[in-house]
């Protein structure tokens, strides 16, 4: 059954001009782009989004990075969207990412890794609602 997931094209990939190529990979993999918005976010917005990581040593660095330039926020839909997007993204550290994955192709490091994707149904629900109003998701 069609499932929705939340994704971000991160500031490194936007800055380097990879956004369109990443969107093409996502569409080629069978995802429908339900909604998409380019914007810059504040450090406080990043902190709220990555709240689950607040005790991790890289939290400050992560929030500064995510608020360092424009990003694309998007909602994607397909059967098994959450797991399939994680597969298409590749491992968090691009050094460990499989050939052909978005992080293998476009990510620079474990911190600046091109794309985010929700990791479970409950996090997808939280993340969708964090960035988009209900009327944007019809
Ligand atoms: P994301 O949540 O962005 O989709 P992920 O689920 O693969 O990535 P998480 O463990 O949730 O990885 O970490 C969230 C983000 O924090 C990573 O994508 C990366 O940008 C950053 N991060 C994770 N580990 C490190 C680290 N050791 N050093 C620096 N940044 C890190
Ligand atoms: Mg994660």
pLDDT 10s digits, 80-89: 999 999 999 9
49 within 8 A of 62, measured Cβ to Cβ: no
90 within 8 A of 97, measured Cβ to Cβ: yes
19 within 8 A of 13, measured Cβ to Cβ: yes
- 1 confidence band (pLDDT: 50, 70, 90): confident
Q: State whether the beta carbon of 92 lies less than 6 angstroms from ligand 1.
A: yes
pLDDT 10s digits, 67-101: 999 999 999 999 999 999 999 999 999 999 999 99
pLDDT 10s digits, 26-62: 999 999 999 999 999 999 999 999 999 999 999 999 9
Q: Hey, CA dihedral for 23, 93, 85, 127, is it positive or negative?
A: negative
Give the domain ranges of the chain.
Answer: 3-132
Q: What per-residue confidence (pLDDT) applies to 133?
A: 96
Domain 3-132 has CATH 3.30.70.141: yes
Mutate to test the pocket of ligand 1, among 62, 72, 76, 107 (most ligand atoms within 8 A of CB): 62
């Amino acid at each position: 059954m069609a499932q929705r997931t939340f994704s971000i094209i991160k500031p490194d990939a936007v800055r380097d001009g990879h956004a369109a190529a990443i969107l093409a990979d996502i569409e080629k993999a069978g995802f429908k782009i339900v909604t998409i918005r380019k914007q810059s976010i504040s450090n406080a917005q990043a902190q709220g989004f990555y709240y689950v990581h607040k005790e991790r040593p890289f939290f400050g660095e992560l929030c500064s990075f995510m608020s360092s330039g424009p990003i694309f926020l998007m909602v994607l839909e397909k059967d098994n969207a959450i797991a399939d997007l994680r597969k298409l993204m590749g491992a968090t550290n691009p050094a460990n990412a499989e050939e052909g994955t978005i992080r293998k192709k476009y990510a620079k490091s474990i911190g600046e890794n091109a794309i985010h994707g929700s990791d479970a149904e409950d996090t997808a629900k939280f993340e969708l609602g964090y960035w988009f109003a209900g009327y944007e998701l019809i």
